[in-house]
């Protein structure tokens, strides 16, 4: 992997197309691949939170989701190729899921947001496989049920919108039991998808 280190976090030196190729590759593999989308705020948090920085460095695809990272990389003399927006990569992954008949699960957002996003996708991509969804406000007890639900529904792709660093920690802590090919932290992109 060709990466650039910024304040201790390794960011993939990829164009949008190269990131897309990685998604296709991940879908052909067995273990759950983690996609993270750091911007400058993530890095400010990661510097203060060692768990968060280690988790980001365990990501399988870590895209520069902000022009600040691209500028910083030039400053360090190891330029990233371009900004790769998490929201756009999420949209691309949804298109891939649709054409490859892979199933999607949405976890996160306020009550009704994940459902609205699912509905909109179904209108845009008739027959798209939405395995399930759940809002992002739950206690420990509910979390067990959510994980059981995900395990039972076997989605290929899980989009997690709990805000950073909560979503990255959730993905990291659960990656071995989800059974998915891809888990991606998407933050506010889920709200955008829901409109
Ligand atoms: N969110 C959630 N549960 C939480 C905290 C946040 O589901 O405990 C959702 C929130 O509703 C929003 C998304 O996570 O849809 C992104 O939140 P935030 O704006 O904090 O994150 P950012 O996009 O700035 O990383």
Tokens for 116? Answer: 């609205």
Residue ID of nearest Cα to ligand 1 atom 18: 163
Do residues 93 and 184 touch, judged by C-beta distance below 8 A?
Answer: yes
Q: What is the pLDDT of residue 167?
A: 98
CA 161 / ligand 1 centre spacing (Å): 6
pLDDT along the chain (195 residues), means of 10: 96 98 97 98 97 98 98 95 98 98 98 97 97 98 97 98 98 97 98 96
Do residues 110 and 137 touch, judged by C-beta distance below 8 A?
Answer: yes
CA 163 / ligand 1 centre spacing (Å): 4
Q: How far is CA 15 from CA 43, 79, 96, 143, 182, in A?
A: 20, 12, 17, 36, 19
Which residue from 104, 124, 102 is spatially nearest to 186, judged by alpha carbons? 104
What are the boundaries of each domain within the chain?
Answer: 3-194
Check if 68 has its Cβ closer than 6 Å to any atom of ligand 1: no
What DSSP line would sit under 45-59, residue for residue?
HHHH-HHHHHHHHT-
Do residues 36 and 185 touch, judged by C-beta distance below 8 A?
Answer: yes
């Amino acid at each position: 992997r060709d990466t650039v280190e910024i304040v201790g976090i390794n960011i993939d030196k990829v164009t949008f197309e190269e990131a897309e190729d990685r998604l296709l590759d991940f879908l052909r593999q067995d273990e759950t691949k983690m996609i993270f989308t750091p911007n400058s705020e993530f890095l400010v948090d990661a510097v203060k939170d060692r768990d968060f920085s280690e988790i980001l460095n365990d990501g399988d695809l870590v895209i520069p989701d902000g022009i600040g990272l691209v500028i910083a990389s030039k400053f360090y003399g190891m330029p990233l190729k371009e900004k790769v927006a998490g929201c756009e990569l999420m949209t691309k992954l949804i298109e891939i899921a649709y054409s490859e008949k892979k199933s999607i699960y949405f976890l996160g957002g306020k009550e009704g947001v994940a459902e609205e996003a699912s509905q909109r996708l179904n209108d845009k991509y008739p027959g798209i496989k939405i395995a399930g969804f759940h809002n992002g406000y739950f206690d420990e007890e509910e979390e067990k049920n959510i994980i059981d639900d995900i395990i039972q529904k076997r989605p290929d792709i899980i989009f997690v919108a709990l805000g950073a660093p909560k979503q990255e920690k959730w993905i990291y802590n659960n990656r071995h039991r989800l059974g998915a090919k891809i888990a991606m932290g998407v933050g506010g992109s889920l709200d955008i998808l829901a409109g």
